[in-house]
Amino acid sequence: RPLGVEMPVTMRFGIYVQHNSSESVQTMINYATISMDKNRSSQKNTFTIFTNEFREQMIHNAEITSQMEKAIDNNEFVLYFQPQYNSATKKIVGAESLCRWIKRNGTVISPKDFIPISENNGYIRVLDRIIWEKAFEMMSRWIERGINPVPISVNISRGSLESDTLIYVIEQLKNKYNVPADLIHFEITESAYSGEQDKLIERIEKIRELGFKIAMDDFGNGESSLTMLNSVPIDVLKFDQNFLKNNADSEKTEQFITSLMKMAQQLQKKTVFEGVETEEQRDFLKSINCDSVQGYFYSKPLMEEDFLKFLKEHS
Ligand code: C2E
Ligand code: CA
Ligand code: CA
């Protein structure tokens, strides 16, 4: 202030209450740091006390991490497919591939339980590559079997976007499996666009130069700015499912969605809506000319063979 700079400062504290005098200072500081990072606010001073819940979560995360490598060797990661429909013709026009971890004993682990953890420990880059390879391999098998496939959208996590390696990996997969590039799309979640923009744009451009389409996933979930729409080279806008969930004032929500849809169309982006659960939602999206729709109204994510059956019936 004496220098004439008005710089708001906020503070964040993590508190760990010692229970056991044999714990090292370093361990206690670690616990306090973990608590500190649980609660962030750019406007408010915050403090968070370490709880047993945090401890259990840490143990759970460590367990998942330690099992992951073995699970990869055992081929326990499996792709499911959720169909995407043209909202007007009711035909399948694509599918999103979603990963499941199926343990040897048959337990199915949802990606929500291992993707965020592997994003934190860096393992996501390995996992992403394995998942992409499965998608390419599967697509080439479908073509070989004489199936008339639809494009499959594959997820790219934020962690994979942080290095140029992904471009080489994708290029290698393209050459190895010889799959037409227009049959694979990549989805990048909106929140991944917040990092180093120039590098990110360059990487996305390179993937597009290889012939693949890029979708911005979870569009509108609040983390991105609209200007990014203009600066980041994307082909498809995939609207976040939360738009359909919090219909507190549904007329207002519909107006809001309609305006965003118009903007997307004016920018000549293809539009996809996910999380469509009811006929009303489908009819509304059709009325505003959303290109394709995906959600439980049509189908949950399906195992490969079930998806292929579905595809045969609905294409
Ligand atoms: P996402 O990419 O936004 O995927 C959409 C999620 O919404 C999927 O959950 C899907 O099953 C679910 N969903 C689809 N339709 C509906 C609906 O009508 N209602 C509701 N309530 N939910 C619907 P899932 O499969 O559990 O995946 C969760 C998240 O995990 C994904 O969100 C994505 O961020 C991540 N994920 C899943 N598979 C992969 C993968 O192979 N690679 C990477 N990097 N991330 C993945
Ligand atoms: Ca996605
Ligand atoms: Ca999404």
Q: Is 302 in the pocket of ligand 1 (CB under 6 A)?
A: no
Query: Looking at residue 296, what is its pLDDT?
Result: 97
Task: Give the distance (Å) from ligand 2 centre to CA of residue 186.
Answer: 9
Q: Are 83 and 314 in contact (CB under 8 A)?
A: yes
Q: Is 48 in the pocket of ligand 1 (CB under 6 A)?
A: no
251-272 mean pLDDT? 93
3-class DSSP string for 58-126: HHHHHHHHHHHHHHHHCCCEEEEEEEEEECCCCCEEEEEEEEEEECCCCCEECHHHHHHHHHHHCCHHH
Q: What is the mean pLDDT of residues 127-137?
A: 97
Compute the distance between CA of residue 249 and CA of residue 7 in angstroms, rounded to an integer.
Answer: 38
Q: Pick the more confident residue, 69 or 274.
A: 274
Q: What is the pLDDT of residue 237?
A: 95
98 CB within 6 A, ligand 1? yes
Among candidate residues 155, 139, 156, the one with its CA nearest the CA of residue 307? 139
pLDDT exceeds cutoff 80 at 36: yes
pLDDT tops 90 at residue 223 = no
Identify the three-state secondary structure at position 132. Answer: helix
pTM above 0.85, yes or no: yes
d(CA 196, CA 124): 19
Residue 40 has pLDDT above 70, yes or no: yes
Q: How confident is the model at residue 249 (pLDDT cuts 50, 70, 90)?
A: confident
Q: Where are the alpha helices (DSSP H) in 220-278?
A: 227-231, 242-245, 250-266
Q: Nearest C-alpha to atom 17 of ligand 1 is from which residue? A: 275
Is the beta carbon of 240 within 6 A of some atom in ligand 1?
Answer: no
Model pLDDT, residue 120:
86
235 lines ligand 1 (CB under 6 A): no
Does residue 242 line the site of ligand 1, with CB under 6 A? Answer: no
Average pLDDT, the chain: 92
Q: Which two tokens stand for residue 297?
A: 């109204």
Nearest ligand, measured from the Cα of 186: 2
CA torsion angle 51 55 57 61 (round to 10)? 150
pLDDT digits (tens, 9 = 90+) for 71-126: 999 999 999 999 999 988 889 999 999 999 999 999 999 999 999 999 988 889 99
Residue 36 is encoded by which pair of tokens?
């500190």
Residue 248: which pLDDT band, with cuts at 50, 70 and 90?
low
pLDDT, position 247: 67
Residue (of 111, 53, 100, 138) closest to 308 by Cα position: 138
Name which residue sits closest to atom 25 of ligand 1, judged by CA.
98
- To test ligand 1's pocket by mutation, which of 110, 131, 132, 155 has the most ligand atoms within 8 angstroms of CB? 155
State if residue 274 touches ligand 1 by the CB under 6 angstroms criterion: yes
Pull the structure tokens for residue 205: 């451009």
Span 14-34, pLDDT tens digits: 999 998 889 999 999 999 999
